Amino acid sequence: MSTVTLNELRNIVRETLKEYKDTTKNININLTGETGKKQYEILQFEQELAKDVFRGSINEQTSLIVQMIENDEWEKPQNAKSFMTSLYSSKRKQFLSPYSESEFNSMKLFKLKNYSIGYAIKSDGDIIAVHNNESFGGLGPSMMKSAIRNGGTKLDHFDGFLTGLYSKNGFPNVKSIDLWNSEYAPDGWNYEKVNIFDAKTSAYANKEEIKKLASNPEEMKNIAKNYNITRDLLDAIRNYETGRPSIVYRVR
């Protein structure tokens, strides 16, 4: 029987760990129940919807809509077809939600009476399909408060402009983060750089390693040799430079 030296054993272990890391670094831990390409398409759709939910500010006309939301003046009984008509009246029709009518039937649906405004909540408390397809602005905060009041306990999104908005509108807690996986990149994705050092656009911004890099940009030049930075964080920094943000899972 051949013997293995201590150094040879160390090399075997090192190579085994390297192979394991290479095969697992892009695995997405998925808390939404969706997988792969479909998950990315859903998140892209949700992100486009959010641009209209959080745009603008409240005015006299909008305040009436906010009052309706606060008073829970939703369409009853809930109707999946009516909800989908409301959802798909968006000017962003090129981003179609992969959700089917049967899937919506299993959720709690909230469509404002006579308006294409609403959201849905899954049985596990996941808030989805938050939309404002009317001309009213400034509805984001009241929509999020309503969703929480009606049972919403979590949501997920691509890191970016939604990070700051969700953080200050009821979801400051990050449960987990998944690195971008290019295999699932949605069609038409805009590879726009995301600032990983800004808390308004990045869930990583409050990490001590990121704070140190932000305060000392010179360290970025030798970031690959910085052993205080994990491989995942290093990958995230590189991904954000090329418009490939991570997926953020938030809870109450």
Express each pLDDT in 24-67 by its tens digit.
344 344 444 456 999 999 999 999 999 999 999 888 889 999 99
Residue range 18-25: mean pLDDT, rounded = 44
Using alpha carbons, select from 113, 126, 140, 119 the residue that is nearest to residue 53.
140
> How far is Cα 92 from Cα 122, in angstroms, rounded to an integer?
23
The per-residue pLDDT for 32 is 44
Helices (H), the chain: 6-24, 36-53, 60-70, 80-87, 101-105, 140-149, 161-167, 208-215, 231-241
Residue range 129-141: mean pLDDT, rounded = 95
Percent of the chain with pLDDT over 90: 69
Residue range 96-113: mean pLDDT, rounded = 91
The per-residue pLDDT for 26 is 41
Residue 221 has pLDDT above 80, yes or no: no
Residue range 221-229: mean pLDDT, rounded = 72
Q: What is the pLDDT of residues 145-155, one digit of tens each?
A: 999 999 999 99
The per-residue pLDDT for 218 is 77
Radius of gyration of the chain (CA): 22
**Cβ neighbourhood burial of 140 (10 Å; 0-12, 13-18, 19+):** buried
Q: Which residue has the tokens 């949700």?
A: 46
**Comparison of pLDDT for 43 and 223, the residue scoring more:** 43
Residue 3 has pLDDT above 80, yes or no: no
Residue 93 has pLDDT above 50, yes or no: yes
Q: Which residue has the tokens 């909230």?
A: 110
Residue range 240-245: mean pLDDT, rounded = 98
233-238: long-range contacts (C-beta < 8 A, 24 or more apart)? Answer: 233/204, 233/207, 233/209, 235/25, 235/179, 236/177, 236/179, 236/196, 236/204, 237/196, 237/213
Token couple for 248:
């953020």
Residue 182 Cα to chain centre, angstroms: 16
> How far is Cα 112 from Cα 250, in angstroms, rounded to an integer?
25
Residue 162 has pLDDT above 90, yes or no: yes
The per-residue pLDDT for 219 is 76
**Comparison of pLDDT for 220 and 60, the residue scoring more:** 60
Residue 127 has pLDDT above 70, yes or no: yes
**Vertex 25, ends 199 and 50: CA angle to 5°?**
40
The per-residue pLDDT for 81 is 97
pLDDT-derived band at 157, boundaries 50, 70, 90: very high
The per-residue pLDDT for 137 is 94
DSSP secondary structure string, 137-184? Answer: ---HHHHHHHHHHTT--EEEEESSHHHHHHHTTT--EEEEEE---GGG
> How far is Cα 62 from Cα 160, in angstroms, rounded to an integer?
26
**Vertex 168, ends 108 and 54: CA angle to 5°?**
65
pLDDT-derived band at 223, boundaries 50, 70, 90: confident
Residue 159 has pLDDT above 80, yes or no: yes
Q: What is the pLDDT of residues 178-194, one digit of tens each?
A: 999 999 999 999 999 99
